[in-house]
Structure 1
């Protein structure tokens, strides 16, 4: 009891003098951790552990290298990023290219691919005039009916009609293309990773298969297509068609025009969306200073005002 009182008095005296408190008496020995470190190992054990680590890392690296070497997926290429004129924040589509791209679709792509979500009226004001769109629609034969006799009949197309399908059903499309189903192109740019970069690379990327790669009959090698074996034959080549405006119909020009057309088909509000964004930026540029002035010099005064009630005496 006297020893505890003496220890408490010593601690209070040390605190009053600003020094560190006196150490409390030890309550017993603490157990020392029994840790094994590399410093305590013999030289032979250190060499063995180092050799084991080097072999493990080397084996993992060799396995990864072999897996990458035998993986056939490395032959598949990712499409590069092309400088499209409509990729800018305030850039619109090239509507002359959209018109040429529709010509490419009509003369080349429409033989196998459909665009069932696009109607002839959608071309008005974008790539064609109303008279031109009507003429294009009348060239198509549309199945309609039934008539008064209960029979189906064909008629010339109207502006409200959608683009005609090349095949009546998916089964007929597969039968005509060796079992492969040509996809609908209405939203193909948004449905494929890479967008128009992928479509452009696919159209211009046909080449001979490398050594050791064999394809069965009816397939073609394209490094940009998943699996590298595609059932579609090379669809475009130089001078496959003649543009109405006299633009040279090279392979790259044809691919560029049809990709621009497909971008518009997948996103017809492209130009309108960017125009609305520009208008919003201009309006917000005028409103933000006014809002800041009202918040800083008007509302802050009202918010920090103190109202005190003084009852009458």
Structure 2
């Protein structure tokens, strides 16, 4: 009798637990992509970084900050506008021109009043909003994340960014999207409370950001066709570079260190053989 009672209780728990388990949802795995900057010998494509910066400037910067980036970073070695003629990126005229297009909040040294002045290469990228409440008010209560380290802050890195940017689709039948939200199967979340369909709960979640990219939304100076996929690849490469702007230097140092250690190991081995060749073991 006791065994039957335990079995019935376990069956009841299973019945009640099954809907809860079925109700949970998970985002899709990021799309498989091949990037030129991956691997020990990978490098960034400077033309792609320039296109990616233009997308950030004309699209992403309206909502997202990059507070850890300074304009001079754009002209450093490996950066989008690096020029070997200007080893000091602060002297790069193109970087200076980019910075000058921005208006930077500053304090008048004589009156103490808040003023705006043209940017310099030493300035950081300006925040599109003066404070967090203003950012939330302009985005339906959501706070747009800073993009400085986005490629490292999200699981999947560049694959996740690319997948999210190209993953906006029509919600499946039975899924009600809340006002001011947008469905994306690559976004982490749980949409079970908004799903009344007959099938499994769809993957993904909601986010306040509308699809940011569209065909020909940004024109590329080098003539590259401006598709959504191309724009997503380019801005993803730029954000990956921004997350680790010294990646190429780090890889070059690592390869040189490995070569040095291999040569040193060979020299030590030969020296060992010469010193101990007449000594019996």
Identify if the C-alpha distance between structure 1 residues 289 and 140 changes in structure 2 by more than 3 Å, giving closer, same or farther: same
Structure 2 Cα separation of the partners of residues 105 and 78 of structure 1: 25
Aligned residue in 2 for 1:238: 215
Does residue 86 (structure 1) correspond to residue 48 (structure 2)? The answer is no
Higher helix share: 1
Structure 1 Cα separation of the partners of residues 32 and 140 of structure 2: 33
- Displacement of 1:303: 11
Q: In structure 2, the residue corresponding to 1:123 is in which secondary structure? A: helix
Does residue 127 (structure 1) correspond to residue 80 (structure 2)? The answer is yes
Identify if the C-alpha distance between structure 1 residues 211 and 300 changes in structure 2 by more than 3 Å, giving closer, same or farther: farther
Which digits, 9 at most, give the CA deviation of each residue in 1:47-101, with x for residues without a partner?
xx9xx9xx99x969x7699458623314x21113311111122111111111110
Q: 1:226 aligns with which of 188, 210, 215?
A: 188
Which digits, 9 at most, give the CA deviation of each residue in 1:183-229, with x for residues without a partner?
00000110000001000000000011112211111001001001111
Q: How many residues align?
A: 249
Tell me which stretches of 4 or more aligned residues in structure 1 moved more than 3 Å. Answer: 62-69, 299-304
> 1:185–1:262: 8 Å Cα contact kept in structure 2?
yes
- Displacement of 1:163: 0.7
Structure 1 Cα separation of the partners of residues 174 and 74 of structure 2: 47
Unaligned runs of 5+ in 2: 84-91, 190-204
Structure 1 Cα separation of the partners of residues 32 and 139 of structure 2: 31
Aligned residue in 2 for 1:259: 236
Q: 2:255 aligns with which of 278, 291, 300?
A: 278
| The 10-residue stretch of structure 1 (220-229 or 279-288) with the greater mean CA deviation from structure 2 | 279-288
Higher relative contact order (CA 8 A, sep 6+): 2
TM-score of the aligned structures, taking structure 1 as reference length: 0.73
Which digits, 9 at most, give the CA deviation of each residue in 1:149-196, with x for residues without a partner?
232221111010011110000110000101000000000110000001
Measured on the aligned residues, the alpha-carbon RMSD in Å equals 2.6
> 1:147–1:153: 8 Å Cα contact kept in structure 2?
no
TM-score of the aligned structures, taking structure 2 as reference length: 0.81
Does residue 268 (structure 1) correspond to residue 230 (structure 2)? The answer is no
Unaligned runs of 5+ in 1: 1-48, 305-313
Aligned residue in 1 for 2:167: 205
> 1:143–1:152: 8 Å Cα contact kept in structure 2?
yes
